[in-house]
Each structure stands twice: as C-alpha cells, then as structure tokens.
C-alpha cells in the first residue's frame, strides 16, 4: 500500500460511505476495500429506514435507544451481506463479467479478483453471522414476533439474485424492495421497541419505500439492454423502457403526495420539511422524460449507469430531510407533553 493511501485511509472510509471512490483496491486498506466491495454508499438507505422506524416508535412513547442502535446495525449488516451474496450469485451465473454494468461502475470482488474467493466467503459469512446474532438478540428481547419481519426480510435480501428462482430475474425485485425498505425495515424496527405494529405505521413506511424503489427502477432502466441479453426479467424489461421511466417519475411524485397525506392524517407538520428536496426532484423528473444518452457527458461519473444516480441522490436528500422533520416533530411533541 502506498504511503499516500495509508495516510488518506480515514478520508477514504468517508468517501466509500458516500460514493464509490475510483482507487486501486490492491493498494487500499482492508476497511476501505470492503466498504467499497460491499457498496457501503447505498447502505444509507437502510439506515434511514431503520431510523424512521425508531422515530415513529418514539412518537408512540415506545423508544429504546439501545434497541434502535442494534436494529439499525443489524439491518445495515444484512444489507451489506446481501450485496456481497448477490455479487457471488451473479458471478456464478455468468452475469457479472468484466464488461457488465456491475463491474464497470464499481469494483467487483470476484470479477476483478480484488479479493480471494476464500477471503470473500469468510468476510461474507462473518457479516451474515453478525447480522444473524443481532437478529437473535432482538427476538429474545422483543419476542418471536420479530421473526415475522426478520425471516421474510432475510429471504428477500439473500435470494434477490440467488436460489433457483431469484426474485430479480422474475420481475419481483422492485416489489420486494418496496416491501423490505418499507413495512419490513421501518415496521420491524418499530415493532422491536413497541412489540406491536399499528396499521398507520405500515402506511407511514411507504413514502420512503417509494423512494428506494425509484432508485432500483432507475438502475434497472439503466441495465435494460444488458438484462435483456442475459435473460433477466426485471420490471422495466416486462413493461418497457418508456413505461418504466414514467413509473419511476410516478414513484417520485408519490413520495411527496404520500408524505403530505401522512403529515395531515397523523398531524405531523414536521414532515413538511421533506419538501426541501423538491428543487432536486424538479431536476430529476425531467431526466426520466428522455432515454439514456448514448455517451456520458464530459466528467460524468458512474457510467454506464445514468438514471440511478439521479434517483439515488434525490432519495438520499429526501430521506435525510424526512428523518430530520420527523425528529423535530418528536422533539416538539415531547416538549409540549412535558409542559
């Protein structure tokens, strides 16, 4: 490892949590390498879902900081393990090749041989074991009802690209993501603390779940030609590129309408802060009105992906504002209740 990369390691960790740094992984430290290989930059979506569930529980006077930290950590580890496992499945199926979109926009542990197969299996198993251990503790702490969220979530995350009938290959990936990042993650985190799940919490999980689904839709529209060649039937392939772009626009619009409806229904004006992401949405929506350009604009990073970048950045801003507004709502209601 070069002295420069050794010195820059902490900075690279932060970069790997925000984006995919363009560096030589052979010279990077182990933490940076595995953060990049596990696509840690997208784990923020999982953390946001968990925090939303915790804040909704806090609003119902069922908050437990320790359980929230464990729940979010378990979800993030499960998501990281899912990313690694799905890379393994797609590599084994011959989908992830050196010229595939997955191996082009970021390093791939197996395709690029940036990790020994044995090391890859050990790290993946260790992450899975840690997530499982946390899940077992939460079942003991909050009761067997946690399994109603943990088991379907684990099934979807691990078999998204795996098993004899991978969900992504049969047009079920988008619905699976909507369920996982909404009712299962947000509702499950709420349940861990409250040991019940009111219907309103399930509905409250949808605004952000629409956003995460819009990110996956963007990615699958980007990979439409490649997936067609490989026989992968994502939703955009089933409904066509133009309809998929319009559906993604609809999901983005639904994020705001469902948030406003939730704010009015549950009297949570703090959620209006999410509207701060609208200026970005007004830039993202037009991007989905036209097909992907044939060549990347000068200086564009992430090619051959295009739409997913717009959707991801928008969803990240919306999610952070949603969490901030919800946190302010909880604080105001707590102070008002104490007066």
* Prediction pTM value: 0.94
Tens digits of per-residue pLDDT, 194-204? 999 999 999 99
Tens-digit pLDDT profile for residues 149-196: 999 999 998 889 988 889 999 999 999 999 999 999 999 999 999 999
Residue position matching structure tokens 């199926």: 93
* Domain ranges within the chain, ordered by starting residue: 26-338
| Distance, C-alpha 136 to centroid of its chain | 23
Cα gap 251→168, rounded to integer Å: 19
Instruction: State the residue for tokens 């979807």.
Output: 156
Helix/strand/coil (H/E/C) assignment for every residue in 79-140:
HHHHHHHHHHHHHHCCCCCCCCHHHHHCCCCCCCCCCCHHHHHHHHHHHHHHHHHHHHHHHH
Tokens read off for 205? 């999980």
Q: Predicted confidence band at 68 (pLDDT cuts at 50, 70, 90)?
A: very high
Question: Is the bond into 304 cis (omega within 30 degrees of 0)?
Answer: yes
Per-residue tokens: 147: 């399994």
Q: Are the C-beta atoms of 294 and 253 separated by less than 8 Å?
A: no
């Amino acid at each position: 490892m070069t002295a420069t990369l050794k010195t820059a390691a902490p900075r690279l960790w932060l970069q790997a949590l925000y984006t995919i740094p363009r560096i030589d992984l052979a010279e990077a430290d182990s933490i940076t390498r595995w953060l990049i290989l596990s696509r840690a930059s997208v784990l923020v979506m999982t953390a946001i879902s968990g925090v939303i569930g915790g804040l909704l529980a806090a609003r119902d006077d069922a908050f437990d900081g320790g359980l929230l930290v464990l729940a979010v950590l378990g979800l993030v580890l499960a998501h990281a393990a899912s990313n690694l496992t799905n890379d393994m499945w797609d590599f084994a199926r011959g989908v992830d090749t050196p010229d595939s979109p997955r191996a082009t926009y970021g390093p791939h542990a197996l395709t690029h041989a940036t990790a020994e197969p044995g090391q890859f299996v050990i790290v993946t198993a260790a992450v899975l074991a840690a997530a499982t251990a946390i899940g077992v503790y939460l079942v003991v702490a909050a009761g067997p009802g946690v399994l109603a969220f943990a088991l379907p979530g684990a099934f979807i995350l691990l078999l998204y690209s795996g098993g004899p009938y991978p969900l992504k290959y049969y047009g079920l990936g988008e619905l699976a993501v909507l369920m996982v990042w909404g009712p299962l993650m947000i509702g499950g985190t709420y349940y861990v603390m409250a040991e019940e799940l009111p219907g309103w919490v399930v509905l409250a999980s949808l605004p952000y779940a629409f956003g995460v689904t819009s990110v996956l839709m963007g990615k699958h529209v980007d990979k439409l030609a490649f997936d067609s060649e490989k026989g992968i039937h994502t939703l955009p392939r089933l409904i066509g590129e133009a309809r998929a772009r319009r559906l993604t626009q609809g999901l983005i619009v639904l994020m705001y309408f469902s948030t406003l409806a939730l704010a009015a229904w549950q009297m949570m004006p703090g959620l209006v802060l999410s509207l701060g992401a609208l200026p970005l949405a007004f830039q993202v929506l037009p991007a989905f009105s036209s097909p992907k350009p044939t060549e990347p604009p000068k200086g564009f990073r992430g090619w051959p992906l295009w739409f997913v970048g717009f959707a991801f950045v928008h969803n990240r801003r919306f999610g952070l504002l949603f969490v901030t507004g919800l946190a302010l709502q909880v604080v105001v209601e707590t102070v008002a209740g104490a007066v």
